[in-house]
């Protein structure tokens, strides 16, 4: 780990955004997973409000804390490997998002500036097929923890996201199990467990330095764990980015484009980005652990209003992953046009 590391991956630094009154922070509703499981009507209303208005909420009592901590440890063990070793497992440029992604291969703005984040992506299909391989192999650090860490993390995250999908299905008034049929765990999909590492900026903090450019998530539901600030949302009606403050013991959940499309735009897939952590946190490495639930590969996305879809989930995901790569960068206009986000209104709003 670098000398700038705080020595503990996934450790909450005791200088959260809230201590600085000048840091614009966006509050999220707090949803209690145990109350949702128990069918508590008020809690389900709160989830509905969060899912339709901002598309982001905090989740407490999710019961995945141990596995999340271990995923952070797995991230540290893997990212410490020599670059040459990690590159043997590179995800490549074809829109395939399983394996290792080095820093510097994504274009983060219309000028073609490059990103500074490393990803380790473990496919849900590979985790569930283990010790067989569904798609690809992984670094030895991942294999060593597949059984003890990755599989339990994937299974628990998957169960939580699927439970939410069923609750939202019922709130939408869809036939029982309609959304679940599009997210079958036994089918191959782009569902993935991701660990993200971003080094501290070498230059003094600047809002211009982007870790992850403005985007909406591609899939249906994201279950995110981070320990430092840096995640920002552009809330509906807001004219500036606001931080989402990490809260100990709380995950951050958000809706992605696929659920937005399947719900005819009722469930909100909100634009967000990641910049270096604010103030005193800026000198530390920033780590995140995420589980992304996506529709399975053969699902066809409906052409919905302004959305240019009508293709399979697999093809759509490939196109969107490819659109983030510097390799395909062909100037500002094409970057904006192919940025991926399908909603032109959002694209115009953030000047992507």
Ligand X SMILES: O=C(O)CCC(=O)C(=O)O
Interface with ligand X (CB under 6 A): 196, 212, 217, 224, 226, 231, 272, 274, 288, 290
Query: In terms of CB distance, is 129 or 238 closer to ligand X?
Result: 238
Query: In terms of CB distance, is 169 or 288 closer to ligand X?
Result: 288
Query: Checking DSSP bridges between strand 30-32 and strand 56-60, what pairing results, if any?
Result: parallel
Q: Tokens representing 127?
A: 């985790």
Q: Tokens representing 236?
A: 């509906």
Give the residue closest to ligand X by C-beta. 288
Q: Which does 288 bind (CB under 5 to 8 A by kind): ligand X, Fe ion, none?
A: ligand X
Query: In terms of CB distance, is 254 or 297 closer to ligand X?
Result: 254
Q: Which does 210 bind (CB under 5 to 8 A by kind): ligand X, Fe ion, none?
A: none
| In the complex, least distance from residue 56 CB atom to Fe ion, rounded to whole angstroms | 10
Q: Which does 31 bind (CB under 5 to 8 A by kind): ligand X, Fe ion, none?
A: none
Query: In terms of CB distance, is 189 or 216 closer to Fe ion?
Result: 216
Query: In terms of CB distance, is 70 or 217 closer to ligand X?
Result: 217
| In the complex, least distance from residue 181 CB atom to ligand X, rounded to whole angstroms | 25
Q: Which does 196 bind (CB under 5 to 8 A by kind): ligand X, Fe ion, none?
A: ligand X
320: phi then psi, degrees, rounded to nearest 5 = -70, -40
For every residue of 109-166, DSSP letters joined together read STT-PBP-EEEEEEEHHHHHHTTS-SS----HHHHHHIIIIIHHHHHHHHHHHHHHHH
List of residues contacting Fe ion (CB under 5 A)? 217
| In the complex, least distance from residue 215 CB atom to ligand X, rounded to whole angstroms | 7
Give the residue closest to Fe ion by C-beta. 217
Closest CA to 10 of 230, 247, 228, 243: 228
Query: In terms of CB distance, is 79 or 212 closer to Fe ion?
Result: 212
Residue 46 and residue 31: Cα distance in Å, rounded?
A: 7
Residue 282 and residue 274: Cα distance in Å, rounded?
A: 12
| In the complex, least distance from residue 254 CB atom to ligand X, rounded to whole angstroms | 8
* Beta-carbon contacts of residue 145 (< 8 Å; ≥ 6 apart): 70, 74, 77
**Upstream peptide bond of 131 is cis (omega within 30 degrees of 0):** yes
């Amino acid at each position: 780990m670098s000398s700038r590391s705080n020595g503990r991956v996934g450790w909450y630094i005791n200088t959260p955004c809230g201590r600085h009154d000048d840091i614009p922070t966006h509050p999220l509703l707090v949803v209690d997973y145990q109350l949702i499981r128990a069918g508590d009507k008020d809690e389900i209303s709160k989830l509905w409000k969060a899912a339709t208005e901002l598309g982001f909420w905090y989740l407490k009592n999710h019961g995945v804390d141990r596995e999340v901590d271990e995923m952070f440890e797995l991230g540290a063990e893997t990212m410490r490997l020599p670059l040459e070793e990690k590159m043997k497992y590179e995800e490549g440029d074809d829109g395939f998002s399983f394996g290792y992604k080095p820093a510097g291969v994504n274009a983060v703005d219309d000028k073609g500036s490059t990103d500074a984040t490393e990803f380790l992506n473990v496919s849900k299909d590979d985790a569930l097929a283990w010790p067989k391989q569904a798609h690809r192999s992984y670094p030895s650090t991942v294999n060593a923890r597949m059984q003890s860490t990755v599989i339990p993390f994937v299974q628990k995250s998957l169960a939580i996201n699927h439970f939410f999908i069923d609750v939202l299905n019922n709130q939408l008034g869809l036939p029982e199990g309609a959304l679940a049929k599009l997210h079958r765990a036994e089918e191959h999909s782009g569902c993935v467990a991701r660990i993200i590492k971003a080094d501290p900026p070498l230059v003094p903090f600047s809002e211009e330095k982007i870790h992850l450019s403005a985007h909406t998530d591609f899939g249906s539901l994201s279950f995110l764990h981070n320990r430092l600030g840096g995640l920002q949302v552009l809330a509906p009606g807001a004219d500036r980015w606001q931080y989402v403050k990490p809260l100990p013991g709380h995950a951050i959940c958000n809706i992605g484009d696929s659920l937005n499309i399947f719900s005819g735009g009722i469930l909100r897939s909100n634009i967000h980005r990641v910049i270096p952590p604010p103030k005193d946190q800026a000198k530390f490495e920033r780590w995140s652990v995420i589980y992304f639930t996506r529709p399975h590969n053969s699902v066809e996305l409906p052409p919905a209003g302004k959305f240019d879809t009508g293709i399979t989930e697999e093809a759509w995901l490939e196109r969107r992953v490819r659109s983030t790569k510097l390799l395909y960068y062909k100037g500002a206009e094409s970057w904006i046009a192919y940025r991926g986000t399908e909603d032109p209104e959002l694209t115009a709003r953030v000047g992507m």
